[in-house]
A = this chain, B = another copy of it.
């Protein structure tokens, strides 16, 4: 892909003038748009939005998660988190228990209802993911996972991958 079509009279390489993978950039946009679109419709029935979904998802996947850990995952402010978390607790989808070791901390858990909703949403997304996998071939899962991991900030990557493996 580098020197395939030598351009007439040009410098060794204009840094990265035009090896921009526009196709992947746009596919990522379209794919993500539809990927998060599925749950949105269901969440609307509960008067929840995407923010609620993200919180519920990670609480369900990482039982006992603390507020600080959740903030680190979502990379939003505690005020933003609190708004949706409070609603999830008040409506009985998430439980917030005082930490046993450190009583300042809160350990978050999905309730039965929370678990059910989270799983329902995850299955919806799974359907789409597995359909895509069926098109490309199942061996693509591994490749795509490593590719997506490669898109994560290098500084974050180790931590994220560790938390993925741990909760699996």
Q: Which residues of A contact B (CB under 8 A)?
A: 1, 16, 19-35, 37, 54, 57, 61, 75, 119, 122-123, 125-136, 138, 140-141, 143-153, 156, 160, 164, 167-168
The answer to whether A27 and B132 have CB atoms under 8 Å apart is no
The answer to whether A129 and B21 have CB atoms under 8 Å apart is yes
Taking chain A's interface residues, is the majority helix, strand, or loop, or is none over half, making it mixed? helix
- Residues of chain B contacted by A1 (CB below 8 angstroms): 138
The answer to whether A16 and B123 have CB atoms under 8 Å apart is yes
- Residues of chain B contacted by A164 (CB below 8 angstroms): 22-23, 26-27
19 A-B pairs with C-beta separation under 8 A? A20-B122, A21-B129, A21-B133, A22-B164, A22-B167, A22-B168, A25-B126, A27-B164, A28-B32, A31-B149, A32-B32, A34-B156, A35-B151, A37-B153, A128-B151, A133-B150, A135-B149, A136-B147, A136-B150
